[in-house]
Amino acid sequence: MAFSAGRPYGETEWSLRPDEIGDLRLVLPLTASGQRALSVELVAADGRTISSAATRLEITADPRAAVVLRPGDTARIDELIAHGRKMVQVGYVAGARGYYKRAAEAGSAAAAFALGATYDPMFIEQIGAQGIKPDVAQARSWYERAKALGDKDAEGQLAELDTEEALVAAAPVANGPAPTGVVVSGAAEPNRLAPGAAEPSTAGATNPEWVEISGTVNVRAAPTPQAQTIKVAEPGTRYQATARQGSWVQVTDPKTSEVGWVYDRYVATAEAPN
């Protein structure tokens, strides 16, 4: 379930501004039915409980929400996927999973792929979902199902998961000391890398490679989504690319010599800044 205003935080909490509380409405999934116990606590930013209430809901099933029995029911599958996408747009990943799962179980390759993405660490990073933990095993399971159902992108995404798992296994614990050669700040030799840790940029020192950030992205201390965030890079920012590792690019800020890692889907080749 969701609310008509605000945004979700994790699996059980919902964040609201004071001006969003007055006309707040509960939005139930189309598939909801039966009795549900509902308890609500209104908690201030400082942790104080301002108000609380509890009630029991009697929910009548939506006749349009009958279980999809065959893959040929394309209109209903499309409707489920559309609802899932709306849930993702508002950041309600848990709700999206419910819609995608029903469509996937009806035989939709696209829904299976979308459901896998809701568990994928890089997708969760991309949409900026708060309080949602990735689950690589679940992502892999649904990507494999999407592949079996004929999704052309699933195989590539499975390969991406393999790369990310390898990087996570090799990376240091978040907030711990940076690995040899990964300089978090300062100008101390950003290209001195540990053996096998990363591939240097193909551009030479006299002709360095430059990249431009294509979307708002976290710059991290190591090439993994679990690493500490150094800062947030805005679209249009240009950096020198100093190394690559898997799906990550090591970038250096030309103004501060600060070094970090960004996911490669957020960068594009660019000319050197004037």
Supply the pTM of this predicted model: 0.47
Rounded mean pLDDT of 170-179?
A: 46
Decide if 2 contacts 87 (C-beta within 8 A).
yes
Residue 20 pLDDT: 75
Rounded mean pLDDT of 147-173?
A: 74
Rounded mean pLDDT of 219-238?
A: 82
Decide if 220 contacts 233 (C-beta within 8 A).
no
Who wins on pLDDT, 26 or 64? 26
Neighbours of 274 (CB within 10 A): 3
Who wins on pLDDT, 250 or 273? 250
Specify the DSSP element, H or E, that contains 138: helix 136-148
Mean pLDDT value across the chain:
74
Decide if 212 contacts 221 (C-beta within 8 A).
no
pLDDT at 195 over 80: no
Give 189: exposed, middle or buried? Use CB within 10 Å, 0-12, 13-18, 19+. Answer: exposed
Question: For 160, how many CA atoms within 13 A lie in the half-sphere containing its CB?
Answer: 20
Find the radius of gyration of the CA atoms of the chain: 22
Rounded mean pLDDT of 25-30?
A: 66
pLDDT at 198 over 70: no
Q: Which among 40, 41, 43 has a CA at the least distance from the CA of 18?
A: 43
3-7, 47-51, 77-81, 124-128: least confidently modelled range = 3-7
117 is written with which tokens? 């993405």
